[in-house]
Amino acid sequence: MADKSKSILFDKTAVYRVPSAAGFIWSEWDDASIVYDPRSGHTQVLNDFARELLALYEDGPKNLNSLFFEFEKILETKIDPQTKEQIVETVNGFDTMGLIEPVLK
């Protein structure tokens, strides 16, 4: 069961995108993807789950509901509440790392 004290404190209705000038440099491995962000000089290691989610953001801006919908299409099944929470936590991590940014209205 998810720990409510660790709830994500970002706008779940916001539309996020990969920054257009990000210029990420990717290295793909069997069980992980490594992304280098030349803007910050930081390197992140993503598992397959996180890589797939970031790839969906690379396809274009979306909010969480759109992300859930597109992820369900990939899995060809509905995602459960625990998976949704894991997606929210992963997206929050992307935002914190600067891999995505909110689209300003």
Is residue 35 domain-resident? Answer: no
Confidence of residue 22 (pLDDT cuts 50, 70, 90): confident
In this predicted structure, the answer to whether residue 7 has a pLDDT above a threshold of 70 is no
Is residue 87 domain-resident? Answer: yes
Q: Would you state the pLDDT for residue 104?
A: 80
In this predicted structure, the answer to whether residue 6 has a pLDDT above a threshold of 50 is no
Chain segment 47-57, per-residue pLDDT in tens: 999 999 999 99
Is residue 53 domain-resident? Answer: yes
Is residue 57 domain-resident? Answer: yes
Exposure string over 20-50, b if 16+ CB within 10 A, otherwise e: eebeeeeeeeeeebebebeeeeeebebeeeb
Is residue 11 domain-resident? Answer: no
Chain segment 63-94, per-residue pLDDT in tens: 999 999 999 999 999 999 999 999 999 999 99
The range of the structural domain enclosing residue 57 comes to 48-98
Is residue 40 domain-resident? Answer: no
Q: Would you state the pLDDT for residue 10?
A: 59
